[in-house]
Amino acid sequence: MEITIARSYEEMSAISAGIIAREIKRKHDLVLGLATGDTPVGTYKELVKIFKEEGLDFSKVTTFNLDEYVGLPPLHKNSYNYFMWENLFKHINITPSKVFVPQGNTEDPEEFCAWYEAQIKKAGGIDLQILGIGGDGHIAFNEPGSSFASPTRVKALFEQTIVDNSRFFDKKEDVPRFAITMGVGTILEAKKILMIVNGKRKADVVAQFIEGPVTSQITASALQLHRHVNVVLDAEAASRLKRTEYYNWVRDNKHLVQKEVGR
């Protein structure tokens, strides 16, 4: 895992958008996995800026979102589909037929989940997956106890997630109890992963997933098993990490690796 500690939310967003833009420039038909929530809003704003100012081309990019609430139609103001169009898609030159968000109001969730997995495979797999982390340590809606081999499926939301996400709804009772979510297994199959985290309220869970044991009770800890993970944090989210000096040294001295190898 490569850990980058940014000074602020703004810097975290700029670094994350820079990583995504670099991957799109490298591969114009990138398959990009996307997350919703408060965390990536700044990153998406930065991407829109890069699109407007530098002409970053999204027209060949295919996107797959991590999750969607069961029962919400795509145009519902609390749906993740709506979130994505408001915060990113409508501001860039994405090709609508290349956008995939799980369909919350599907009549047959099981069949839909199998179809979604098949679409990811058909696209050649996810090149870069963006993630946030929940207060309970979840990635996507893989709540505590989710299998590390899990595919896209319907998952019941953990009480803490319902409470956390009630801020987006009029009242807690309106938060759906189930979501369609990519599995931990689906996420681990992505070629690269970019995890973004900000804020003091995530500091404990960040320390657990980076420096604690690998456990299905904190599903983000599964990322310790992945070959290519970038974690970009703001200073508050990083405040409970024990080895920040080491992470900063590694980040600032990457060029030395080249020197060592060249000897």
One symbol per residue from 65 to 94: x for binding ligand F6R (CB under 6 A), - otherwise; what is it?
-xx------------x--------------
Q: Is 99 in the site for ligand F6R (CB under 6 A)?
A: no
Interface stretch with ligand F6R, choices 37-45, 50-58, 92-100, 240-248 (CB under 6 A): 37-45
CA distance 162 to 160: 5
DSSP class of 117: H
List, by residue number, the catalytic residues. 67, 136, 138, 143
State the CB neighbour count (10 A cutoff) for residue 86.
Answer: 13
Binder of ligand F6R out of 1, 10, 23, 37 (CB under 6 A):
37
Q: Which two tokens stand for residue 10?
A: 């703004």
Q: Which is nearer to ligand F6R, 132 or 183 (CB)?
A: 132
Per the document, the length of the chain is 263
- Name beta bridge partners: 1: none
How far apart are the C-alpha atoms of 52 and 91, rounded to whole Å?
9
Least distance to ligand F6R from the beta carbon of 257, Å?
A: 31
Q: How far is the CB of 140 from ligand F6R (least distance, A)?
A: 4
Cβ-count burial 11-49 (b if 16+ within 10 Å, e if not): bbbbbbbebbbebbeeeeebbbbbbbbebbbbbbbbbbe
How many beta carbons lie within 10 A of that of residue 206, not counting itself?
Answer: 26
Q: What does DSSP assign to residue 152? A: S
Q: How far is the CB of 214 from ligand F6R (least distance, A)?
A: 18
Q: How far apart are CA 88 and CA 99, in angstroms?
A: 11
Specify the pairing of strand 2-6 against strand 229-234.
parallel
Strand partners, 94: none
Q: For residues 254 and 227, what is the distance between their CA atoms, to the nearest angstrom?
A: 17
Residue 38 makes contact with ligand F6R by CB under 6 A: yes
Report in angstroms the alpha-carbon separations of 186 from 67, 87, 101, 208. 12, 24, 15, 22
- Smaller CB separation from ligand F6R, 9 or 247: 9
Among 13, 39, 79, 106, binds ligand F6R (CB under 6 A): 39
Contact positions with ligand F6R (CB under 6 A) in 104-163: 132-134, 138-140
- Identify the three-state secondary structure at position 44: helix
The one among 4, 13, 36, 221 contacting ligand F6R by CB under 6 A: 36
Per CB under 6 A, contacts with ligand F6R among 48-67 are 66-67
Nearest residue (CB) to ligand F6R, 36 versus 62: 36
Nearest distance from residue 179's CB to ligand F6R, in Å? 9
Query: Least Å distance between CB 40 and ligand F6R?
Result: 7
> Rule CB under 6 A: is residue 234 a binding residue for ligand F6R?
no
Size of the site for ligand F6R (CB under 6 A): 14
Nearest to ligand F6R of 127, 143 (CB atom): 143
- Please, what is the minimum distance in Å from the beta carbon of residue 123 to ligand F6R? 19
Interacting residues with ligand F6R (CB under 6 A): 35-39, 66-67, 80, 132-134, 138-140
